[in-house]
Amino acid sequence: MTFRRTILIVSLLTNLPEVVAADETPAAKRPTDPAASIAPRRPVVPESRDPAITNPIDRLLQPYFDSQNFQPPAVVADRVFARRVFLDVIGVLPTPEELEKFLGDQRPDKRERLVDTVLADRQRYAEHWLSFWNDALRNDYRGTGYIDGGRKQITNWLFTALADNKPYDQFTRELISPTPESEGFVKGIIWRGVVNASQVPPMQAAQHVSQVFLGINLKCASCHDSFVNDWKLTDAYGLAGIFADGKLEVHRCDTPTGEFAPLKFLWPELGAIDANAPRAERLSQLATILTKRENGRFTRTIVNRLWARLLGRGLIEPTDEMDNSPWNRDVLNWLAEDFADHGFDLKQALRNILASRAYQLPSVGAAENAKAAFVFRGPVVKRMTSEQFVDAVGSLTGGWPTPAAVQLAVSATRGDNAPPTEIAAKWIWSDPAAARATSGGRIFLRKSFDIDKLPLQAPCVITCDNQFTLFVNGKQVASSTEWSKPLGLDLKRHLVRGRNVIAVEAINWPDPETKSGLQTRGDNAAGLICLLQLRANVDGTLRVSEPRTRSVRSTEIVSDSTWLWRRGHIAGWEKPKFDTSAWKPAAELGAASLAPWNLTPSLRAALDTHGGGATGVRASLTFADALQTALGRSNREQVVTDRPKAATTLQTLELTNGNTLATQLTRGAQHWLVANPSSPRDLIQQLYATALGRAPSSNELATATELLGEPLITEGVEDLLWVLAMLPEFQLVY
């Protein structure tokens, strides 16, 4: 880290627009009339004075703006709008090609069309919103509790629900009255050991359900009658008892009272719970009552969260205190009622907001929105979330995190009629009978191929019974000893134009338990399977020496009889220029579905996860690293519905001196140098288009040219990448 870089980031962060939490007024008392809390009044949408204003949100806001003596300014420019929509809906920067296509569209409804396009991107939409729901539903990929069964993932269920845009009422019912795939949320966290009565799993479930789906804080009321709102201890225990296997004794301040609160929903008038019914039936009753059309608190809570997510501040703040008053009740109630009218369609609710003039107004600083007398004047400037920043850096550097923490059936996001991902690779080994029985041993395999340009993506899936080490162009990039879990990764940054070599050291143990007896014949099967997809840049096809073309923009390198093998280690065997004239062709054992492995679904999931869309592995699918943690990614051991907004010292230190970002930038510099731009000017223009969606100014071009130097060197490119990543224009959603 150079001294000038450290000075620059201090200057940049010092001048960032202030992004702080909005004012948090005390929670209001629960209305004495329950209907006022749960049954919203459908507002009458007024006629607009301006025929061009047709969105109901904007028409409802006209009287509000009049009362505040505020004349809304013109909406933001197309470039700003496109970047805002891409980041808010699918979490990634628009590519230069996507942006230019939108800018060149001359149709008057181009913005509505763009909104529809990004909402229809099922995979990137699901990958982005997965982080929001992982936070809210306490779902993560590893951590305390997963080993002993006290915690359970719901990742595949959640991803599919988002990709399918499952109606929100059904989505919620399946979480509260769960299937085995969705039970990880409602079962509570039971790994904490001995805790006080307010944290037993049934009470945790009640707290989580009320917070996430109703915007109610029951934590105080789980110990005693609440001091911060009007909820009572009996309310919390009445809800918690529904989740309990038996009777749940009321504890006040962790002291047993000998009483048992009657089971009830928070608003009993919406429906009764049969206390004598089995737990599963009680949960089904609760799920039905909570998601009733009559429960306006349910619909208002989620549309308020969506508004806050898109515009930086909720119609009610904080979003977990829905007893508070909204700054515009008509907009909140209209969104809630329209949401229910359209079958609890989350994308329809998002579409309503995204297409509004309110969403498209110029952004305002968060400090203005934190004033006690709040007046809505436009969206709040937002900092990128942890995952958005990592993904944006991935776009800028041409390298994405790998491997994924989970494997998802991403092909399901491509439409009901889309065929499943084909696995054309074959199981191979030195012995044609290896699928039945073979001698254990170590063999070395190679595959050479030439490419005329670097691919946009290079997703690869590989596994070996029992163990492998993978080299690409002489560099070790991966290894595994779990044949039943195919390893997915993106090999893009390891490839070069011209000759490339995949080399694999493959080991089969006749006795996998002891990993011994390499030369002993037994009945142990042996095999390796590998598939690499080379996905061309959008401006042309990719020519490969031995093409297996599935489409004009995807070429595959698959394990088959064109791979070569030998026994016995020789120094340099993995290097591209190693002489393989004495090596033998590999034996094809059979297709991916071949017994005893039967791994087609797992191979497909691993490949889809690491190359199913327009990007590499998204940060939402990876384990949290030091950078993501510093930038605010939740540990997901409790419900989090809104991440901290203010920058911290830890973030500054991680951005200036952290190894995670530094390594990514170094790889990015190498990527751009291998791509061989025609000139420093060409590289600068490409980087600005990728990072900021615009061309550099003359001053920026001159400064960047000086920074890069000529000829181009890794350190110069790395510094420019770092400077771009630190710009407020890059890190903020305006």
pTM (two decimals):
0.83
Residues pairing with 429 in the sheet: 587
Are 476 and 574 in the same domain? yes
* d(C-alpha 460, C-alpha 491), whole Å: 7
In a domain, 340, yes or no: no
Report the mean per-residue pLDDT for the chain: 87
Mean pLDDT across 295-300: 96
Are 253 and 214 in the same domain? yes
In a domain, 361, yes or no: no
Joined together, the tokens standing for residue 329 give: 């009740």
Q: How many domains does the chain have?
A: 3
Are 430 and 500 in the same domain? yes
List, in order, residues 6 or more apart from 723 with CB less than 8 Å away.
5, 8, 704, 707
Question: In 3-state terms, what secondary structure has residue 437?
Answer: coil
Greater confidence (64 vs 30) lies with 64
In a domain, 369, yes or no: no
In a domain, 141, yes or no: no
In a domain, 390, yes or no: no
Are 429 and 281 in the same domain? no
Q: What percent of the chain has pLDDT over 90?
A: 67
* Residue 541: Cβ-neighbour burial (10 angstroms; 0-12, 13-18, 19+): middle
pLDDT, one tens digit per residue, over 160-204 is 999 999 999 999 999 999 999 999 998 877 766 667 888 899 999
Domain end point (choices 558, 582, 609): 609
Joined together, the tokens standing for residue 472 give: 């690409």
Are 637 and 603 in the same domain? no
Residue 519 pLDDT > 50, yes or no? Answer: no
Task: Name which of 619, 708, 718, 707 is nearest 664 in CA terms.
Answer: 718
Joined together, the tokens standing for residue 412 give: 């399901």
Confidence of residue 228 (pLDDT cuts 50, 70, 90): confident
pLDDT, one tens digit per residue, over 671-687 is 888 777 888 999 999 99
Whether 133 and 158 have beta carbons less than 8 Å apart is answered as yes
* Structural domain boundaries enclosing 714: 3-12+627-733
Are 548 and 680 in the same domain? no
Are 507 and 584 in the same domain? yes
Are 473 and 600 in the same domain? yes
* d(C-alpha 443, C-alpha 508), whole Å: 9
Joined together, the tokens standing for residue 454 give: 């670097």
| AA identity, residue 395 | S
Joined together, the tokens standing for residue 7 give: 């000075």
In a domain, 535, yes or no: yes
Domain end point (choices 255, 290, 325): 290
* Weakest-pLDDT range from 100-104, 308-312, 513-517: 513-517
In a domain, 661, yes or no: yes
Are 427 and 561 in the same domain? yes
Residue 517 pLDDT > 70, yes or no? Answer: no
Domain end point (choices 257, 290, 323): 290
Greater confidence (550 vs 171) lies with 171
Confidence of residue 404 (pLDDT cuts 50, 70, 90): confident
Mean pLDDT across 44-56: 88
Are 534 and 432 in the same domain? yes
Task: Name which of 346, 322, 303, 10 is nearest 161 in CA terms.
Answer: 346
Joined together, the tokens standing for residue 96 give: 């230069």
Residue 27 pLDDT > 80, yes or no? Answer: no
* d(C-alpha 394, C-alpha 400), whole Å: 5
- For residue 733, what is the DSSP state? E
Are 151 and 221 in the same domain? yes
Distance of CA 682 to the CA centre of its chain: 32
Are 655 and 578 in the same domain? no
Q: Which CATH number does the domain housing residue 471 bear?
A: 2.60.120.260
* d(C-alpha 157, C-alpha 727), whole Å: 37
- For residue 526, what is the DSSP state? -
In a domain, 110, yes or no: no
What pLDDT score was predicted for residue 22?
A: 32
* d(C-alpha 241, C-alpha 226), whole Å: 18
What pLDDT score was predicted for residue 416?
A: 46
* Weakest-pLDDT range from 237-251, 360-374, 446-460, 607-621: 607-621
Task: Name which of 412, 355, 371, 295 is nearest 84 in CA terms.
Answer: 355
Question: In 3-state terms, what secondary structure has residue 498?
Answer: strand
Residues pairing with 505 in the sheet: 444, 469
| AA identity, residue 509 | W
Residue 12 pLDDT > 50, yes or no? Answer: no
